[in-house]
Amino acid sequence: MRFFKLIIIQILLFGNLFAQSIEIVGRVESDGGRLIEGASVRTPDNLVYTSTDIRGRFRIDVPNSYKYLIITAVSHDTTVFNIETYDGSFAQIKVTENSEIEQVVIHGDGINSAGDLGIEAETVKHLPSVSGNIEDLVKLNLGVTGSRNEMSSQYSVRGGNFDENLVYVNGIEVYRPQLIREGQQEGLSFINPDLVSKVRFSAGGFAARYGDKSASVLDVIYKQARDFGVAASGSLLGGNIAVRGTAAKDKFTYITGLRYKNTRYMLSAFETSGDYKPSFLDFQSYLTWRFSPYVSLGVLINAADNKFHFIPEDKDVYFGTITDIYGLSVDFEGQEINRFTNYTTAASLNFRPTDYANYKFTLSAINAIESETYDIYGVYNLNQIDSDIGSENAGDSLLNLGYGLYMEHARNYLYLRAYSASHLAEISYENHKVQWGATAKYEALSDKIDEWEMLDSAGYSIPYEGNSIELNRNVKAKNSLITKRLDGFLQDATVLETERMLWEIQGGVRANYNTYNQEILISPRGSAAVLFTENPHNHKLRLASGIYYQPPFYKEIRNKLGTLDKNSLAQKSIHFVAGYEFKFKAMNRDLTLINELYYKKLDNFIPFELDNVRISYLTNQRAHGYVSGIDAKILGDFVVNGAESSFTLSVMQTQEQVYSIDNESIANQPYLPRATDQRVSANLFLQDYIPGNKNFKAHLNLVYGTGFPFWSPKVGKLSSLQRSGDYKRVDLGASYIIFGKDARRNYSGTLGKIKNLWLTVEVFNVLDVDNTISYSWMLVVPNSAVYGSTVQEYAAPNHLSGIRFNLKLTLEI
């Protein structure tokens, strides 16, 4: 009852919720005397917080139990304010400007029982990365496995597939394109790094406030401009520009970004040669209006147009073992044209009656149009290669195993309209932070599928049906789907402090309903963490568990014939996570070790096949299974002080028992690995600079992953299960600040306004390793004198890009 009284007081009277507290009034300004608007003033546990107004002023009531405040502002160093020395006068707090190249920092914040880690987003533009997406930082994170495609922004988390990851931008759920087949088709990620302020990521056991997916959450918040500025960069892979500013006495702010990407240079390193014509364009703008100290409006606008045009010419690939080598050569005719457009608009009204309460109301609309069209004609030869190094004919063909042709055709079109209205509230009182929210969604999707494939080998049409000619695959369908969804949550986080320990206990429940299958889903979730504050190593323990349902979306209910499964129910997983973190010194360096042990029980999951980034669900089957593993991450100044590096190691296993929905018994079904069962993943990220001169910096990113399982779609997993080779990749980047803050002070005019100008040289895939992303299964009618008339199947690998260099110039004003 007391809780509801507090809510009424908040709304009607804007009353003060804290009785025994200290009122602190002050102002935040830079060391150069500039007033800082929007700086965060908060307690270490984030339960009590406020932000500065347009004059840099703030007022906050802090309970007597707190000893200090944390002040953070964009492009400034974090500052600590000691409450114990506060004498009740007007507090003048200065924060130091930081304009150097930021280091990548991936760590937990405070007690953090929910386990969502903070990621420093700024340095993604300096990392050696093909895509330059925020997701490249996520791939360095704890629990992310199966990251085996540098051309894609998709990632697998603890055995989950790409569709099991939640992505939010300013509270709006981001939709992943449905028709994407290959990473090189994706283009730009929705998230614009130039606009990002905060990033948080959870690999499992996440809180009830996040939605209904089974694997992970990526939560991104965009910046609010506080002054005028321009950031621009250009490279061999494209360019981008972002402009920010304020107006109307800083009551109106804007930050706008335009990105262009062209990966033609990278794709020319692929083994399939031809004329690549990718063109990816994205425009985003985030606008805010502050009507009063209590009411503000934020509007996010996005328009993206990703085109991929490809005219293939030929392909030569060699595969097999040292003693048994095969060579496949293919000559192509035809072309592929894909286009993915997305238009998103979201408006959020924030009402903050006091420093301890915030109410948010959001409306959003998404319109996505996808088209996939291709006509490809290929003539192929498969040969056995002489592998005897001492032979005069080494490398030449010993025997032609098969020849033939194939034709592929597609005219696929998909249209998606999604509208949502949501409410989110947060109230802090005493040692509690209570949050609740509700969202209503309307999704309308229409899909036209027209694709077929013809195979011919040695004059035989496959499948061979006597006198008739049959297509190997033929899918024609039209689907329309309208779904209405309603979900909501309630959660409370409680902080308890004793003499030697700081506890956080978080519990919540989430409910979901959708009109497609009319399921009502209830998901309780909880976590607890303890920080041993008196210990110099700051040992932290964390436990989390919960039920996570994933209601079906379009791809999960569309079968291989293009028709929809009307009986599909939500996939269910139960998470168990135990974490341990502590800080220590080694070689006179401050280091942090984070470990997490986890187990996920999977029920009613839809089995799937993974080809590059395309997920094909087997809707006539279901699976029970599990994911278990351990993640370890050590981070700190490995190489040099002031440049944080990290090493992450994940060991994971995920298996499933698959059964037909027509037969519920799974008693005799074996456990087989899921398509995402990449057992070991490791990542080493190093930063370095010349001692005494941070203008020269180097970044090295090393990724290793054991092979992934694959099998013939025609024969099935049980009879044809194999594993790919290991994924090994090293990317290297070196940056030099040509013009920085030290030089700026010596100039006036335009040069005096330049914040940073730096040059970056990148080398991708330094070791030039032929990493495999998928396999093409070649069906051939072989030479009858050798094999008889039996149709043979060969798995020919599809490799990723080889070594490539990139040059990038970045300017900030």
Cα torsion through 124, 126, 127, 133, rounded to 10: 40
CA 108 – CA 289 distance, rounded (Å):
32
Question: Which region among 51-65, 317-331, 383-397, 567-581 has the lowest average model confidence (pLDDT)?
Answer: 383-397
The pLDDT confidence band at residue 163, using thresholds 50, 70 and 90, is: very high
Q: What is the pLDDT of residue 108?
A: 39
Q: Tell whether pTM > 0.75.
A: yes
- Average confidence score pLDDT of the chain: 85
Amino acid at 532: F
The mean pLDDT value for 392-412 works out to 82
Q: Is the pLDDT of residue 343 over 90?
A: yes
Tell me the average pLDDT across 608-624: 90
Q: Which of 44-58, 339-353, 477-491, 778-792 has the lowest mean pLDDT?
A: 778-792
Dist. CA 164–CA 215, nearest whole Å: 5
Report the pLDDT value the prediction gives residue 10, as an integer from 0 to 100: 44
Are the C-beta atoms of residues 489 and 171 closer than 8 Å to each other?
no
Q: Is the pLDDT of residue 375 over 90?
A: yes
Residue that wins the pLDDT comparison between 289 and 458 = 289
Residue 274: partners with Cβ closer than 8 Å, 6 or more residues away = 310, 311, 312, 313, 314, 332
Please give the share of the chain, as a percent, with pLDDT higher than 70.
88
pLDDT over threshold 50, residue 12:
no
Query: Taking 70 as the threshold, does the pLDDT of residue 657 lie above it?
Result: yes
pLDDT at residue 793 in the model: 82
Strand partners, 696: 736
Residue 763, judged by CB atoms within 10 A of its CB (0-12, 13-18, 19+), counts as middle
Segment among 73-77, 245-249, 521-525 with least mean pLDDT: 73-77
Confidence of residue 533 (pLDDT cuts 50, 70, 90): confident
Percent of the chain with pLDDT over 90: 43
Q: What pLDDT does 100 receive? A: 41
Mean pLDDT on 459-488 = 82
Asked if residue 788 has pLDDT above 50, the reply is no
pLDDT number for residue 11: 40
Q: Supply the pLDDT for residue 304.
A: 96
pLDDT of residue 363: 97
**pLDDT exceeds cutoff 70 at 52:** yes
Does residue 95 carry a pLDDT above 90? Answer: no
Tokens 């990139």 belong to which residue?
806
pLDDT in tens, 479-489: 999 999 999 99
Q: Tell me the pairing of strands 216-222 and 165-169.
A: parallel
Q: What gap in Å lies between CA 742 and CA 751, rounded to an integer?
A: 12
- Overall average pLDDT of the 563-591 stretch: 88
How far is the C-alpha of 631 from the C-alpha of 458, rounded, in Å? 51
Which pLDDT score is estimated for 470? 75
Q: Are 526 and 542 in contact (CB under 8 A)?
A: no
Q: Worst-scoring range by mean pLDDT, 24-38, 538-552, 560-574?
A: 24-38
pLDDT at 300 over 50: yes
Rounded mean pLDDT of 497-508?
A: 86
pLDDT at 335 over 50: yes
pLDDT the model gives residue 508: 96
Contact 342, 187 (CB under 8 A): no
- Residue recorded with tokens 């905060």: 198
pLDDT of residue 249: 83
Please report the pLDDT score of residue 361 as a whole number.
96
Ranked by mean pLDDT, the top range of 88-92, 419-423, 578-582, 752-756 is 419-423
Q: What is the pLDDT of residue 117?
A: 80
For the ranges 10-19, 461-470, 664-673, the lowest mean pLDDT is seen at: 10-19
Provide the pLDDT for residue 222: 93
Residue 269 — φ and ψ, nearest 5°? -90, -5
- Give residue 746's pLDDT: 54
Q: Coil, helix or strand for 2?
A: helix
**pLDDT given at position 303:** 97
Does pLDDT of 103 surpass 50?
Answer: no
6-20, 426-440, 612-626: the lowest-pLDDT one: 6-20
pLDDT value at 753 more than 50:
yes
Closest C-alpha among 570, 552, 554, 571 to residue 562: 554
pLDDT at 439: 97
